[in-house]
Amino acid sequence: MAPLVVKNKVLVGNSGGEMGVRGWVTALSTDNGQIAWKAYNTGPDTDVLIGPHFKPFYPQDQGKDLGVSTWPPDAWQIGGGTVWGWISYDPELNLIYYGTGNPGPWNADQRPGDNKWTSGIFARNSDNGEARWFYQWSPHDIHDYDGINENLLLDMPVQGQMRKVLVRPERNGYLYVLDRITGEVLSATPYVHITSTKGVDLKSGRLIYAEDKKPEIGKVIRDICPAAPGAKDWQPSAFSLQTGLLYMPHNNLCMDWEEVEVSYIAGTPFVGTNVKMYAGPGGHRGALTAWDPVAAKQVWSIKETFPVWSGAVATAGGVVFYGTMEGWFKAVHARTGEELWRFKAGSGIIGQPITYRGPDGKQYVAVLAGVGGWAGAIVAAGLDPRDGTAALGFVNAMTDLPAHTTKGGMLYVFALP
């Protein structure tokens, strides 16, 4: 994950949720690299840095040592909850916000309980790491939805009143708006096709699982949407102050899921599930969607053949840039989605475009091309397309990608007129 510098501390988390690790985020001194504080995402309150100032909004997140009691005995020690996504900082509140990854193993029958504090979000004091609140997007995560996506910290009207909010397009398929001071869910609206859940109960804050999509050992559960990579994985969204819109690169994937028994062996995969993914309704596998977070509705959407695995960037000139896995780098109109320009890169784009002003005073846009990651593993790792379970089932959805792109590793920089 990308570290974040806050004051005199470098904040960084770990990964490896599929390897039976224990998740954490730590703050290192910028002066000497020494650990200033370290907060685990499973285990007793002392390890999680939960103390008297911890005030979660919902009752299910209140109580002592929930990072232990919501797991089978000792399972929290290999329970995942890693921090491999994004950290955001509010200097006025002096709070950092970050998501926690999936619990391990994927086989949920082997870890009954809510599995705190995985697949959720923490707000912490940046100075000492002390937890302020927590909310769990997917309690007892049964579909590997994690909870690591980016957090957009906005001040916007909610029911006619200005609120300090945290906007989150979550992997479970809902666009959340939270009060970032308290952790209360103000709204949770589907932004993709969802069969795995029935909605979010705003009174309790709990995700409502669809009974017919709950995994069972030895049984294949079909047509689970979104798939394990989520409605949107780590690929970051962009927000425009000009339009007030959120631009989300995301997926349109469903999956079949079969749980199997798995034993923990240090240094080896700890998953316990067979998965095959495929395109969702409409046959396209991705989209770039413009969303109005105030009105809680889609404004426009561009369908793409493959998952839109790149980030997006919105400029003050009213343009949104993003890349596709075939290797197209595109510029579209921020208000209408009309395509304005495209460039064919030498490899699929999963990197995040950036824009900056150069020493010559001109504005530039840069992007890395080089297909890979989970979605592009079939190309980057040379996987056999006949094995649909490869890359934890993602290969089944990407068998035609090798015909559209090759391995790469190129930086492209464009000057804007």
158 pLDDT above the threshold of 90: yes
The rounded distance, in Å, linking the Cα atoms of 289 and 145 is 20
**What is the layout of strands, in order, in the sheet containing 273-279?**
220-224, 253-259, 273-279
Task: Look at residues 291, 294, 177, 300 and name the one whose alpha carbon lies nearest to residue 238.
Answer: 291
Range 255-265 average pLDDT? 96
Q: Considering 61, 114, 141, 144, which one is annotated as catalytic?
A: 144
Range 368-373 average pLDDT? 96
Annotation says 102 is catalytic: yes
Does residue 226 sit within a domain? Answer: yes
Q: What average pLDDT is seen over the chain? A: 97
Annotation says 94 is catalytic: no
Q: Considering 14, 18, 61, 141, which one is annotated as catalytic?
A: 18
Annotation says 45 is catalytic: no
Q: pLDDT tens digits for 200-244?
A: 999 999 999 999 999 999 899 999 999 999 999 999 999 999 999
Q: For residue 4, give Cα distances in angstroms to 11, 128, 165, 172, 245.
A: 5, 15, 20, 25, 25
Does residue 36 sit within a domain? Answer: yes
Q: pLDDT tens digits for 33-80?
A: 999 999 999 999 999 999 999 999 999 999 999 999 999 999 999 999
Range 275-303 average pLDDT? 97
Does residue 379 sit within a domain? Answer: no
Sign of the Cα pseudo-torsion (389, 257, 24, 166, in order): positive
Does residue 342 sit within a domain? Answer: no
Q: Into how many domains does the chain fold?
A: 1
The rounded distance, in Å, linking the Cα atoms of 169 and 246 is 9
Range 309-323 average pLDDT? 97
Residue 196's domain comprises: 4-304
Instruction: Give the phi and the psi of residue 280 in degrees, each rounded to 5.
Output: -85, -170
Instruction: Judge contact between 351 and 371, C-beta under 8 A.
Output: no
Q: What angle do CA 288, 292, 297 make, to 5 degrees?
A: 85
Percent of the chain surpassing pLDDT 70? 100
Q: Considering 14, 41, 102, 172, which one is annotated as catalytic?
A: 102
Eight-class DSSP state of 237: P
The rounded distance, in Å, linking the Cα atoms of 182 and 58 is 10
Does residue 318 sit within a domain? Answer: no
Reported pTM: 0.96
The rounded distance, in Å, linking the Cα atoms of 318 and 331 is 10
Does residue 334 sit within a domain? Answer: no
Instruction: Judge contact between 67 and 51, C-beta under 8 A.
Output: no
The CATH number that applies at residue 238 is: 2.140.10.10
The rounded distance, in Å, linking the Cα atoms of 188 and 170 is 10
For the chain, give the number of residues. Answer: 417
* Confidence at residue 271, expressed as pLDDT on a 0 to 100 scale: 96
Does residue 330 sit within a domain? Answer: no
* Confidence at residue 218, expressed as pLDDT on a 0 to 100 scale: 86
Tokens 């599995």, residue? 115
**pLDDT class for 338, splitting at 50, 70, 90?**
very high
Tokens 């005073």, residue? 361
Does residue 362 sit within a domain? Answer: no
* Confidence at residue 33, expressed as pLDDT on a 0 to 100 scale: 96
181 pLDDT above the threshold of 90: yes
The rounded distance, in Å, linking the Cα atoms of 370 and 408 is 4
417 pLDDT above the threshold of 90: no
CB neighbourhood size of 121 (10 A)? 25
